[in-house]
Amino acid sequence: MTLSADDYSDETLAEYGYAYNTLRRLQSSVETVFAQAGVPLPERRFVAVGDVGTQSWDCEQLSFNLIKVYFGTPGAGDTQATSGCALALAGDFVIQLVRCVPGAKATRSGTRMLPPEVEAIEAATLVQAVDAQVLLEAVLATESVQFVKATATPTGAEGGMQAINVELSISLSA
């Protein structure tokens, strides 16, 4: 049996849909803040669960991933002991923005590879530095998101693509 959102009542979604709703609010905020900044985003955009390493890197894309949900202080994760006290529901998320980056090029004869031009490397660096800052500002602008930590980190280049990952821990309470 495959479930869809239509299989849940509005009451169930209101009570237990915080993580999904947070993903959607993050997506909306990122799209809005990037548009206001005049920075284009890839057309491929989606929400998902699990490690961002499970997503394809064959094109530019923007994903919003739920990594884990837990009781406790956002950012403390598994390191915090829990008790019978009323603890807040928190979650860890990753926003991943994948862009094309310059790579080595084969010579006309195809006998050796030439490194990318310095100008191309610096242009890609500017794009990713802007992406990192605008992503962090979009997290701050997200409705009802109170986060404890948010870190923007570039990944290594792979197959002509590179990502900026924003890892964040936030409260999921209404």
CB 132 within 8 A of CB 120: no
pLDDT in tens, 17-45: 888 889 999 999 999 999 999 999 999 99
Per the model's pLDDT, the better-predicted residue between 167 and 18 turns out to be 167
> 154, 127 in Cβ contact below 8 A?
no
Render pLDDT for 84-113 as a digit per residue (tens, 0 to 9): 566 778 899 999 999 999 887 777 776 778
Task: For residue 48, report the phi and psi dihedrals to the nearest 5 degrees.
Answer: -155, 170
